[in-house]
Structure 1
Amino acid sequence: MTTTTDLEYKIADLETQLAFQEDTIQSLNDALISQQDQLMTLQKQMAALAKKMKAIQPSDSLASLDDETPPPHY
């Protein structure tokens, strides 16, 4: 048979564990929110870069590089 003191100790222990778990969950939630913000920023940057890449037209100097003969050591 458990005494009242034992039950109080067990309840206090459970309350302590619960407090630590709630803190851990909040920390994980904060980290997830931060990572989601970073991901959204990166996605926007990637979309902007893709748009710029599509807008770039090959210049005559870049096209002429493809037509050049290889160096003599080839």
Structure 2
Amino acid sequence: MSSQNELSERLETLETRIAFQDQTIEELNSTITAQWRQIDLLTRKLELLEEQVRSGSYIADPSTEAPPPHY
């Protein structure tokens, strides 16, 4: 009977470990998914900024700028 109790305890220990591993995997998956969403968002923003810089929309018109403070 002792052998059967040991096997039962080992099985319970393994089931507990698997449950914790499954939970950890789910948490890691959620984290990775959130990171990929953030990376995609940042990539789109970077592409938009690059397009705006290439189009010259960030080039200031000197006639509309105030003179520097030392004048």
Q: What is the percentage of aligned positions where both structures have the same residue?
A: 26
- The 4+ residue runs of structure 1 with deviation greater than 3 A are 57-60
Which structure is higher in RCO with an 8 Å CA cutoff and minimum separation 6? 2
Unmatched runs of 5 consecutive residues or more in structure 2 = 64-69
TM-score, normalising length: structure 1: 0.75
Residues matched between the structures, number: 67
Could you tell me how far 1:60 is from its partner in structure 2? 5.5
Larger radius of gyration: 1
- Structure 2 length normalisation: TM-score? 0.78
RMSD between aligned residues: 2.3
Post-superposition CA distance 1:37-68 (Å, at most 9, x none): 00000000000000000111645529xxxxxx
